[in-house]
Chains A and B, each alone.
Chain A
Amino acid sequence: MTRIDEHGYYGRFGGAFVPEMLFRNIEELRRVYTDWIAEPAFQKEFQALLKDYVGRPTPLYFAERLSEKYKSQIFLKREDLNHTGAHKINNTIGQILVAQRVGKTRIIAETGAGQHGVATATVCALKGIKCIVYMGEVDIERQAPNVARMRMLGAEVRPAKSGSKTLKDATNEAIRDWIQNPEDTHYIIGSVVGPHPFPDMVARFQSVISEEMQKQLLDKIGREHPDRIIACVGGGSNAAGAFYHFLNNESVKLTAVEAAGEGVESGKSAATSILGRDGIIHGSRTLLMQTKDGQIIEPHSISAGLDYPGIGPLHAHLIDSGRAEAIPITDKEALEAGFELSRLEGIIPALESAHALAALNKLALEKEEVVVVNLSGRGDKDLATYIRHMGE
């Protein structure tokens, strides 16, 4: 079972563990989101924006030199070519249309690497809606170009100063903001995390990735499905989108790549599916890195977008049930994969996507195996990090 049940659960993961102050907003979304998304007028506007504004469909590129190296057939789904440089905008376009329909006039968002913040600031500028983005203090420092982009787009960037000062804490602050401003505000959550219906709603908006893949594969290899899809997972929105239309096709192997930081056992890691156990974070029951007492452990990854102690409930379910395989990739391995793709294919990937690429080295791929790596974002925002590690 890879779809949510009536209470918003994937197996035992999911649900909506939220304070009463958020109940009405969550409930309102839950009642209407599937109907609205299905509405012809909504779809028309959504599809038009994806095509003309975002630049979809994104190419499915056969990476010849990479394929040669890993002795298989590797395609890259070029989400890095979307407007704003990552898959995140698929979701923000969908959610801003939802926000308009619920009559909200103020948007809040959390961001880790800044990609979701930029994508949210972008759609708010597009629609002329006030935008506030919460971002961990640590991330503000390591993702300075994206902070500048958000400000240029008219958004206010508020630093999250609690806890590890990264994505988890930015999300806490965004939820607190929503509790204080439930009337006029919609929270555009950036991943397949949070209380139901967010994980499912975000997955639906991101599902355009696998929908396009099906058509493109049919065109390129004569069948709709690959043998394997590899995607990185922080919260897991790009992976959810890349897996979505293949979830029930067991012949497609799903590989979810997690950030191992300095090593799974190093104490500085974000490999949630290995280090986590059932818990509640940001309103959702999922796998969570925590102490014996249930205090949430501060994660670590070189990639701000994967630096999260939980994982979307869909992915917790996919990994727990054996449908998806989780592979941990260290900071160092990700950097190497980033440099490798730059040299082999002339594409500088985001550090998040570099984790997915690094998995190629860990898998026993077969010669004819058709692999799609979801290249979720471009690496411009990570140049400072890449430069620091150049020639190591």
Chain B
Amino acid sequence: MNRIKDLFKVKDKAILNVFVTAGYPNLSDMPEIVKTLAASGVDMVEIGMPYSDPLADGETIQHSSKVALENGMHLDLLFEQLRALRPTVDIPIILMGYFNQLMQYGVEAFIQAASEAGVDGMILPDLPLIEYERTYKPLFEAANISVSFLICPSTPADRIRKIDTLSQGFIYMVADAATTGQTRDLSEAQRTYFKHIQRLDLQNPRLIGFGISTRDHFVQAAQFARGAIIGSAFLRAIDPKKPENESNSLDERIRGFVGSILEPTVSVG
């Protein structure tokens, strides 16, 4: 059984995947955040393993990683939190991080700990396809952990096919050739790109990530893929340092944000 595959079997469209950095805003917040996300209708979560040098991340996620590391987050604690969390939520849990973190933990030990903690998938933006194929694929597969690879507008078609063959679960489609956290409307170029990918008729479902921050983005993205991933916008929405967040509890901030994405705006008057 893999919760990611099951989810894509039962839910056809508008899958919402929300990213949160483990250990942010406070060291022990992640499990409660995930529970609230699940209860608010989020379909899956991506949990960032904070890293000192997150090359593929924009400012918001960099900042959250820095705070999380200062709070004292580390992998053993993350796995401990996940083991306690897993029996309380059913949605798929994906870990996102950098390959050096796995190398230092020991790739096999990491996979075992992740598997015991009920992790369903991994996103490792700097793990080269060739290294995965040559060395690590059987290890992840044996543990029933799906590794999702990124594709972006500069990925050639033959490489997309290869990624499709090697991916399990879903393909992470980068909406813009940019690090996360940029906010803009879906452009004509992006629409053209997404349509191009649709026509490739890949075996894996796609989620669109990078730059999705509003309900409008989400609804538009869901037309071209099975759903979308929201990261930076969510972190900004729960940032306790933002003046507009001061009067709300973490729980209220999470529910408010998810509501703003999933529920159509009620026009007043």
- Chain B interface mostly helix, strand, loop or mixed? loop
Contact B53 A24 (CB under 8 A): no
Kindly state the separation between the CA atoms of A19 and B97 in the bound complex, as whole angstroms.
12
List B residues 43-68 near A (Cβ within 8 Å). 51-53, 55-56, 58, 62, 66
Binary per-residue interface labels of chain A (266-282) against chain B in the complex, 1 for a CB within 8 Å, 0 otherwise:
00000000000011111
Q: Is A7 an interface residue (CB 8 A)?
A: yes
Kindly state the separation between the CA atoms of A385 and B82 in the bound complex, as whole angstroms.
50
Contact B55 A20 (CB under 8 A): no
List A residues 168-182 near B (Cβ within 8 Å). 168, 172, 175-176, 179-180, 182
Contact B52 A295 (CB under 8 A): yes
Q: Is A358 an interface residue (CB 8 A)?
A: no
Contact A19 B125 (CB under 8 A): yes
Picked from B62, B126, B156, B179, the residue with its CB within 8 Å of the CB of A283 is B126
Chain B residue numbers with a CB within 8 Å of A163 are 52-53
Contact B154 A280 (CB under 8 A): no
Contact A7 B130 (CB under 8 A): yes
Q: Is B150 an interface residue (CB 8 A)?
A: yes
- Beyond A15-B131, A180-B179, A182-B154, whether A20 also contacts B103 by CB under 8 A is no
Contact A176 B55 (CB under 8 A): yes
Contact A18 B104 (CB under 8 A): no
Picked from A17, A175, A296, the residue with its CB within 8 Å of the CB of B99 is A17
Chain A residue numbers with a CB within 8 Å of B58 are 176
Taking the closest CB of chain B, its distance from the CB of A286, in whole angstroms, is: 11
Residue of A nearest to B58 (CB): A176
Chain A residue numbers with a CB within 8 Å of B131 are 15, 17
Q: In the complex, which range does the number of interface residues on chain B fall in?
A: 35 or more
Chain B residue numbers with a CB within 8 Å of A43 are none
Binary per-residue interface labels of chain B (157-183) against chain A in the complex, 1 for a CB within 8 Å, 0 otherwise:
001000000000000001001110010
Contact A293 B105 (CB under 8 A): yes
Chain B residue numbers with a CB within 8 Å of A179 are 55-56, 177-179
Q: Is A342 an interface residue (CB 8 A)?
A: no
- Beyond A15-B131, A20-B150, A182-B154, whether A279 also contacts B178 by CB under 8 A is no
Contact B98 A280 (CB under 8 A): yes
Taking the closest CB of chain A, its distance from the CB of B165, in whole angstroms, is: 15
Contact A16 B128 (CB under 8 A): yes
Binary per-residue interface labels of chain A (18-57) against chain B in the complex, 1 for a CB within 8 Å, 0 otherwise:
1111011100000000000000000000000000000000
Q: Is A128 an interface residue (CB 8 A)?
A: no
Chain A residue numbers with a CB within 8 Å of B66 are 162
Chain B residue numbers with a CB within 8 Å of A7 are 130
Q: In the complex, which range does the number of interface residues on chain A fall in?
A: 20 to 34
Contact B69 A175 (CB under 8 A): no
Chain A residue numbers with a CB within 8 Å of B179 are 176, 179-180
Q: Is A103 an interface residue (CB 8 A)?
A: no
Q: Is B74 an interface residue (CB 8 A)?
A: yes
Kindly state the separation between the CA atoms of A19 and B123 in the bound complex, as whole angstroms.
11
List A residues 151-193 near B (Cβ within 8 Å). 162-163, 168, 172, 175-176, 179-180, 182-183
Kindly state the separation between the CA atoms of A183 and B52 in the bound complex, as whole angstroms.
27
Contact A17 B152 (CB under 8 A): no
Chain B residue numbers with a CB within 8 Å of A15 are 128, 131
Contact B56 A21 (CB under 8 A): yes
Chain A residue numbers with a CB within 8 Å of B130 are 7
Chain A residue numbers with a CB within 8 Å of B152 are 20-21
Chain B residue numbers with a CB within 8 Å of A292 are 104
Kindly state the separation between the CA atoms of A283 and B174 in the bound complex, as whole angstroms.
20
Chain A residue numbers with a CB within 8 Å of B105 are 293-294
Contact A162 B104 (CB under 8 A): no
Q: Is B247 an interface residue (CB 8 A)?
A: no
Kindly state the separation between the CA atoms of A24 and B153 in the bound complex, as whole angstroms.
10
Q: Is A143 an interface residue (CB 8 A)?
A: no
Binary per-residue interface labels of chain B (122-165) against chain A in the complex, 1 for a CB within 8 Å, 0 otherwise:
00011110110000000000000000011110111001000000
Taking the closest CB of chain B, its distance from the CB of A101, in whole angstroms, is: 19
Contact B104 A296 (CB under 8 A): no
List B residues 219-256 near A (Cβ within 8 Å). none
Taking the closest CB of chain A, its distance from the CB of B268, in whole angstroms, is: 38
- Beyond A168-B53, A179-B178, A179-B179, whether A17 also contacts B101 by CB under 8 A is no
Contact A295 B69 (CB under 8 A): yes
Picked from A23, A24, A176, A294, the residue with its CB within 8 Å of the CB of B100 is A294
Q: Is A146 an interface residue (CB 8 A)?
A: no
Contact A280 B100 (CB under 8 A): yes
Q: Is B38 an interface residue (CB 8 A)?
A: no
Contact A172 B55 (CB under 8 A): yes
Q: Is A330 an interface residue (CB 8 A)?
A: no
Residue of B nearest to A281 (CB): B53
Chain A residue numbers with a CB within 8 Å of B101 are 293-294
Q: Is A290 an interface residue (CB 8 A)?
A: yes
Contact A24 B55 (CB under 8 A): no
Binary per-residue interface labels of chain A (285-312) against chain B in the complex, 1 for a CB within 8 Å, 0 otherwise:
0001010111110000000000000000
Contact B51 A295 (CB under 8 A): yes
Which of A23, A168, A290 counts the most chain B CB atoms within 10 A? A23
Picked from B100, B127, B154, the residue with its CB within 8 Å of the CB of A279 is B100
List A residues 241-280 near B (Cβ within 8 Å). 278-280
Picked from B74, B149, B150, the residue with its CB within 8 Å of the CB of A293 is B74
Kindly state the separation between the CA atoms of A176 and B58 in the bound complex, as whole angstroms.
8
Chain B residue numbers with a CB within 8 Å of A172 are 53, 55
Which of B53, B66, B105, B149 counts the most chain A CB atoms within 10 A? B53
Picked from A19, A176, A180, the residue with its CB within 8 Å of the CB of B126 is A19
Give me 6 A-to-B residue pairs in the complex whose CB atoms sit less than 8 angstroms apart, sorted by A's number: A7-B130, A17-B127, A20-B151, A20-B155, A163-B52, A294-B51
Given contacts A19-B126, A20-B151, A162-B66, could you give 17 more A-B pairs where the C-beta distance is less than 8 Å? Answer: A7-B130, A15-B128, A21-B56, A21-B174, A23-B154, A23-B155, A24-B154, A176-B58, A176-B179, A179-B56, A180-B179, A182-B177, A279-B103, A280-B98, A290-B100, A293-B75, A294-B51
- The 5 A-B residue pairs with the shortest CB-CB distance in the complex, in nearest-first order: A294-B104, A24-B154, A20-B150, A295-B52, A19-B56
